[in-house]
Structure 1
Amino acid sequence: MTLRAVVRGVGHHLPERVMENAEFEGLVDTSDEWIRSRSGIERRHIAAENETTSSLATRAAEAALRDAGMQADEIDAIIVATSTPDLTFPSAATMVQHALGLTHGFAFDVQAVCAGFVYALSTANALMLAGQARRVLVIGAETFSRIIDWTDRSTCVLFGDGAGALVLEAVESEGLSSDRGILAADLNSDGRHREILYVDGGVSTGATGHLRMEGREVFRHAVEKLAQTAHLSLDQAGLTPEDIDWVVPHQANIRIIQATAKKLGLPMDKVVVTVQDHGNTSAASIPLALSVGRQRGQIKEGDLIVTEAIGGGLAWGSVVLRW
């Protein structure tokens, strides 16, 4: 028998405030048409002053627990993928743990920027296979609006805030590619490319800083590396692109999503797309898209799903799972 990390519940939470593209026309030299044509984004959610990454993460976790039919005290571990924690420390995950009323188990953050949720899923899977946790809350949550330079038209229009969560449970399975749960994962990083996507702040500068990005370079790396990592994960699982029911990619840019689907030989009707409504929510984008895809009736039990993402570092990776 083989242990598999099976999805038991999924949920998400978005700030109430919606910022349409037209609002940027009064801030920077841009337009709704320019933003849509280059990114596919139409709107995004922006956290209010009293909303934090941990509070968004908590609301998403509560939604995922309801979907799973579980109580918080049934959870052994919490992993939060984020690059925008409330504080330098303690971790956002321990704040979620406290907000959920948990005093047992363990909680920690994972930081791999937009690839964070893929890294967190892989980490949760490894913990479960090692017998260190039976049920794990895996959350992606961000408040990127707080590290955006609102005078930089090339980046400020792209990002939004939100959170998504999965409840995973270790289940004994046959060890086949037809099993439900996480079947394979592929993680990568290359620090040589730090300068094309980073935040120019941190403890070494004494300031939070702002996001800086070389969009063309990020696009070039993204399309090549996302298709490559998806193939590697599928190979590990003994599967091919023809077996995929849904690709649920990091929702950064519709052009990247389309180009990656083309490289995988898949039509866009096999891709869950939410970028138009959320913008780039970094580590939150994949769990948000999984939750919305489930709500839409796209994702069903038994579906084979490939998630893939790339972010600053550069860090990238993919996970193959059967819902």
Structure 2
Amino acid sequence: MKNAKIIASGMYVPEDIYTNAYFNEILGEDVDTWLRENVEIYERRWCKEGESTADLCEKAANSALKNAGMKASELDLLIIATDTPEYISPSTAAVVQHRIGAVNAGTFDLNSACAGFVTATETAAHYIKSGGLNKIMVIGAYGMSKYLDKTDKKTVTLFADGAGAVIMTSTEEKNKGHQTGKLISKGEYADWMGIYAGGTKHPSTHNVIDHKDHQLKFVKKFPPELNPQMWSMLANQLAENMGIGVSEVDQFLITQININAIRETLKLLGVPEDKAYTVMHNYGYTGSACIPMALHKAWENQKIKEGDTLFFIGSGGGLAFAANAFIL
């Protein structure tokens, strides 16, 4: 019976670095202290003028292909998880497929906000397990700097751009690859945070009540306990499905918008903090890209290795939650 295994990763972030000091200047107040003490974000990357989500994806894709020793023409499918697409239509995946030369790959975009990458790997795993496909690339991408209100310190200081990619292949190895997964949504929070113009409700050309509807907005404050409760519940469920204890998990790769939420989750699980590799410190919050970026950096820095059990746990607007487990 075929299973889906992650064999390689790659990532790309824009070249332009914005430190906390930049925001002290443009906002006219000290935000650096709060960012350092509360979320531990010190700098982030934003796209250059003319740089967009497809550019980030293209470079992350080529990075993953190089690390896998694979040609793009070998891919059967390309899935891009993003809520900052190149266009409303056509898909970002179609643009990237052409650029990288994945001539034999089908394509589609997937939007479950910042839970997108985990949702996409779960989707890809089932395509491979069904027997239909053998090689799939999944990219989590984020170009949220395009949608930020530069005067809103609640968003402009946190959100950043980047892309992370993985290549998944079929395997018949025992105790390797995808183990279990779970998707949950809480749609009652759909109007609490998002970008509310540009779709059919408020098209970009007319009927826009407020021009800032085209920008990311926190409408209501989320309960601080919500993510830790949901993340720990999902982790416990994955462990139960696998018949293991959470202490046996080697790394938890979790949505990286708030370091304290991650630490609270690990506390609830009773596992040490070094079991959650984090990258938000130097890259800011990169949404659907943060989990594959953390995976890539952990792999690159030898914090994970073949045979390790990894739990991926993502959450994002909607609210959407996604979790799955892989053995490398």
User: Could you tell me the TM-score, scaled by structure 2's length?
Assistant: 0.94
- Give distance in 2, aligned partners of 1:87 and 1:170: 31
In 1, Cα distance between equivalents of 2:35 and 2:44: 12
Match of 2:179 among 173, 177, 183: 183
Cα contact 2:73–2:105 (8 A) shared by 1: no
Q: Who is 2:91 aligned against?
A: 91
2:309 aligned with 1:304? yes
| AA in 1 matched with 2:246 | P
Partners of 2:252 and 2:275 within 8 A in 1 = yes
Matched, 1:206 2:203: yes
Structure 1 unmatched ranges of 5 or more: none
Instruction: Give 3-state SS (helix, strand or coil) of 2:188's partner.
Output: helix
**Number of the residue aligned with 2:193:** 197
Matches within 5 A, 1:134-213: 134-174=134-174, 179-203=175-199, 204-207=201-204, 209-213=214-218
The one-letter amino acid of 2:297's match is V
Return closer, same or farther for 1:47/1:218 CA change in 2, 3 Å cut-off: farther
The structure-2 alpha-carbon separation of the partners of 1:218 and 1:44, relative to structure 1 and needing over 3 Å to count, comes to farther
1:19-34 alignment runs, 5 A limit:
19-28=18-27, 29-34=29-34
- Asked if the contact 1:196–1:218 (Cα under 8 Å) also holds between the matched residues in 2, the reply is no
Name the residue aligned to 2:110: 110
Partners of 1:229 and 1:317 in 2: CA distance: 8
Q: What one-letter code is carried by the residue in structure 2 that aligns with 1:6?
A: K
Task: Tell me whether 1:245 sits opposite 2:250 in the alignment.
Answer: yes
- Structure 1 counterpart of 2:125: 125
How far has the Cα of 1:216 moved from its partner?
Answer: 4.5
Which amino acid letter does the alignment assign opposite residue 283 of structure 2? Answer: H
Shift of 1:103: 2.4
Matches within 5 A, 1:269-288: 269-288=274-293
Measured in 1, the distance between the counterparts of 2:110 and 2:229 equals 24
* Alignment partner, residue 208 of structure 2: none
Q: Contact (CA 8 Å) 2:2, 2:131: kept in 1 or not?
A: no
CA distance in 1, matches of 2:7, 2:319: 31
SS in 2 for 1:51: coil
Tell me the alpha carbon deviations over residues 111-150 of structure 1, each in whole angstroms, 9 at most, x when there is no partner.
0111000100100011111122100001001101011111
1:320 maps to which residue?
325
Partners in 1 of 2:289 and 2:65 — Cα distance? 17
Corresponding position: 1:17 with 2:13:
no
Answer yes or no: is the 8 Å Cα contact 1:197–1:311 preserved in 2. Answer: no
Q: What does the per-residue CA deviation read over 1:277-315, in whole Å, with 9 as the maximum and x for residues that have no partner? A: 111100000000000111111011111111101100000
| Aligned Cα root-mean-square deviation (Å) | 1.4
* In structure 2, C-alpha distance between the alignment counterparts of 1:264 and 1:216, rounded to whole Å: 25
**Counterpart residue type for residue 107 of structure 1:** T
Identity of aligned residues (%): 32
Counterpart code for 2:24? E
In the alignment, structure 1 residue 232 sits paired with structure 2 residue 237: yes
Please report how far the alpha carbon of residue 249 of structure 1 lies from its aligned counterpart in structure 2 after TM superposition: 1.0
What is the alpha-carbon distance in structure 1 between the residues aligned to residue 274 and residue 224 of structure 2?
22
1:160-216 residue CA offsets vs partner (Å, 9 max, x unmatched): 100000000011133xxxx12111111110111112222122222233711122674
Shift >3 Å, 4+ stretches: none
Q: Distance in 2 between matches of 1:180 and 1:89?
A: 37
Residues 127, 133 of structure 2: 8 Å contact kept:
yes
Q: Distance in 2 between matches of 1:126 and 1:276?
A: 33
